[in-house]
Structure 1
Amino acid sequence: MKMLNYTSALVTAALLISGAALAEDYPTKDVRMVVNAGAGGGTDGIVRKLSSIAEKDLGHTIYIENVEGGASGKGTYQVMTARPDGYTIGNLTYDSVITVPYQKLLPGYEMSKLAWIGRVTLEPDAIVVAADSEYKTLEDLIAAAKENPGEIRVAVQNSGSRTHLDMLRLQDMADVEFNLIAYAGGAAPQKEAILNGEVEVAVTSLGDFSNLIEEGDVRGLVEFSGTPNPTYSDVPLAKDQGYDIQAGSYIILAAPQGTPDDIVNKLADTFHKALDSEEFQKWVSKVGVTPGWLGPDEVGGFVEEQQNKLFTQMDDLKKQGILK
């Protein structure tokens, strides 16, 4: 029995030493970054830019692999089930944290299977209208909705999405009713809908519509944020109009649970430095997204807070028959 305990102790010590050595030498090869959205979109662009800066400090390439599907869950699940050695990491967004676990879209999909690297951005939602829209302010829109209940067409992203919840909250606070129309597939179909006149209003981030804003096709009416947008500071905040709604998406970076703490911390330091770099700050200031760093020890609390708040809200909407 003593020999067995001695052998076990040696094995444990060897594993600790090898793990420490792995962390000290890391990385010795390129790192795979799983982006749970399609190439060319907002999330993909931000993660690519940040990774291209971070890899200079890391000393090895961070190559992007786009894995779509399952409302962003497919890519995140690949990270959850990858070898926990620091060579597969990935990103999460609102749907990864809220939609997929709430709707139980993927068996075995659990936040506990991830080690948090950091939250890198915040991307508040906003109400967007055509440049020539008669609605010049949020009060104009609400007044029109009161005069014409259920007639103003508003493009949201999926039933039960964060943009859908934004408008349900606004309806409740302003005591109005809109015609909420769900468009699956993110901001692209919303852009098409507002450009061809299918809807009068769209709800997504200003960053998602940045190209149309720059081209003068649409304008931001109000943003659901606590602080002015660094790119579009002229867009009013809903809370300053009497409707304190603060909502939106975010980008979180994570590794598989079990990844050595030293490796996670090295990745966190590297991406935090990339986020604060002049190159990234100059670039992100043009795309309507707010940098918003939270470290490895803070992200878990943020995720838990988001889930508790939004799961409760969606449970209430189910009871009311608004969500199925």
Structure 2
Amino acid sequence: MILKLSGLRAAGLGAAMLFAVPAMAAECIAPADPGGGWDFTCREVGRLLSAEGLVEGNVQVTNMPGGVGAVAFANVAGKRADDGDLLVATSTVGITQIAQGKYPGGVDQMRWLAMLGADVGVIAVAKDSDIQTLDDLLGRLKADPTSVVTSGSSGAGGWDHIRLLLLAEAGGVEALEQIRWVQFDGGSPAVTQMMGGQVGLVSTDLGEIKGFVESGDIRVLAVLSDEPISAFPDLPTAKSQGYEVTGYNWRGFYTGGGVSDDDYNAWVEKLKTLYDSAAWQETARASGLEPIWRGGDEFNDYVAEQNEQMANISREIGVIQ
């Protein structure tokens, strides 16, 4: 027997079914395979946004590798520019790629939400090096850019290289393209080679060589941060020595360029609330990140400035024309 629902009952059932549909969950695109820094950023921030009650339900994480972030960038620009539920993880590495023309568009195609933490760059020499201070290093490079063999874990034109060049430029070194650079597969191998005398200096993230700092096998000439870092407050910053240079490999997010002001501001507010939470502060430090906040318009301006700096340096050393 087939029962026919009355119009009232049918309407009521339809309404019940409508209200049973959950709200669309937020999504975070990690522009890389699982296991890397961008994947960590999406998964940990997504987990905490949910745990702190800042979003409904769980944050869906979508891995979209390719082109060091270029594939995800193109996808958002072309298909999801106005999706107010979307976050995309990025970092200083992504801005370097954009500055060097390796993405299908510039920084103005996206809205930059916030950075929540960073690996902090350091410039270090072996403990027995005759380079005693940052002034000593920059004086030598200014007199002869080829006098010190420098190294890090990125290739020429990568972030480890560029932040050293920004510091050299601030120190008055003119022929930046003459500074000798050697790439190693990570900060730790670079330090090992430096201790063996193959290179004279390492530019890398502090987190990668923390053990060497603790053991006293290396001398840190400068930490590239605004303020002394919490784990090693006695290490001198470049700024404290008169050089206005920072070298953060920050972790943060952008969203599509067509996202409304209301959705954009709501994300900035949620991310700031998360940043201020004890849960994020503990998670960041446990993962080797220094909690650092820049959000909203301040972060947009910071990204634009960083993009311009990297493009200028990249032209100067011939990475781009």
Displacement of 1:288 in angstroms is 4.3
Q: Give the TM-score taking structure 2 as reference length.
A: 0.72
Match of 1:55 among 50, 55, 75: 50
Displacement of 1:179 in angstroms is 5.5
Distance of 2:301 and 2:22 partners within structure 1: 28
Displacement of 1:42 in angstroms is 4.3
Distance of 1:183 and 1:65 partners within structure 2: 31
Q: Contact (CA 8 Å) 1:155, 1:193: kept in 2 or not?
A: yes
Distance of 1:37 and 1:191 partners within structure 2: 23
Q: Per the alignment, do residues 78 and 322 of structure 1 end up closer, same or farther by CA in structure 2, a change over 3 Å counting?
A: closer
What is residue 84 of structure 2 aligned with on the other side? 86
Q: Contact (CA 8 Å) 2:187, 2:209: kept in 1 or not?
A: no
Displacement of 1:276 in angstroms is 0.8
Q: What is the aligned length?
A: 291
Identical amino acids, percent of aligned pairs: 23
What is residue 4 of structure 1 aligned with on the other side? none
What is residue 114 of structure 1 aligned with on the other side? 110
**What amino acid is aligned across from residue 252 of structure 1 in structure 2?**
G
Listed as ranges, the matches of 1:93-112 within 5 Å are 93-97=91-95, 99-107=96-104, 109-112=105-108
Structure 1 residues 201-256: Cα deviation after superposition (integer angstroms, max 9, x where no partner): 32122134346556776564311222111222121112333433233332331222
What is residue 291 of structure 1 aligned with on the other side? 292
Structure of larger gyration radius: 2
Listed as ranges, the matches of 1:1-324 within 5 Å are 28-37=23-32, 39-56=34-51, 57=53, 58-83=55-80, 84-97=82-95, 99-107=96-104, 109-130=105-126, 137-139=133-135, 141=137, 150=146, 152-156=148-152, 157-172=154-169, 173=171, 180-183=180-183, 188-196=185-193, 197=196, 198-210=198-210, 213=213, 220-286=220-286, 287-295=288-296, 297-315=297-315, 317=316
Q: Per the alignment, do residues 283 and 233 of structure 1 end up closer, same or farther by CA in structure 2, a change over 3 Å counting?
A: farther
Q: Contact (CA 8 Å) 2:125, 2:220: kept in 1 or not?
A: yes
**What amino acid is aligned across from residue 233 of structure 1 in structure 2?**
P
Distance of 2:127 and 2:28 partners within structure 1: 38
Distance of 1:72 and 1:253 partners within structure 2: 12
Displacement of 1:132 in angstroms is 6.6
Q: Per the alignment, do residues 110 and 216 of structure 1 end up closer, same or farther by CA in structure 2, a change over 3 Å counting?
A: same
Q: Contact (CA 8 Å) 2:70, 2:103: kept in 1 or not?
A: yes
Q: Contact (CA 8 Å) 1:82, 1:256: kept in 2 or not?
A: no
Q: Contact (CA 8 Å) 1:34, 1:76: kept in 2 or not?
A: no
What is residue 20 of structure 1 aligned with on the other side? none
**What amino acid is aligned across from residue 151 of structure 2 in structure 1?**
A
Distance of 1:94 and 1:28 partners within structure 2: 33
Find the residue that maps to 2:186 and give its secondary structure. Answer: helix
Distance of 2:85 and 2:299 partners within structure 1: 21
Q: CA RMSD in A?
A: 3.7
Q: Contact (CA 8 Å) 2:118, 2:248: kept in 1 or not?
A: yes
Displacement of 1:169 in angstroms is 4.1
Distance of 1:143 and 1:220 partners within structure 2: 17
Distance of 2:41 and 2:127 partners within structure 1: 27
Runs of 5+ consecutive residues of structure 2 not aligned to the other structure: 1-20
Structure 1 residues 149-204: Cα deviation after superposition (integer angstroms, max 9, x where no partner): 735332132222343233334445265998632438xxx53322322445343212
**What amino acid is aligned across from residue 34 of structure 1 in structure 2?**
I
Q: Per the alignment, do residues 314 and 262 of structure 1 end up closer, same or farther by CA in structure 2, a change over 3 Å counting?
A: same
Distance of 1:145 and 1:312 partners within structure 2: 20
Structure 1 residues 280-316: Cα deviation after superposition (integer angstroms, max 9, x where no partner): 1133235242311312x3333222233334434444x
Runs of 5+ consecutive residues of structure 1 not aligned to the other structure: 1-25
Q: Contact (CA 8 Å) 1:120, 1:293: kept in 2 or not?
A: yes
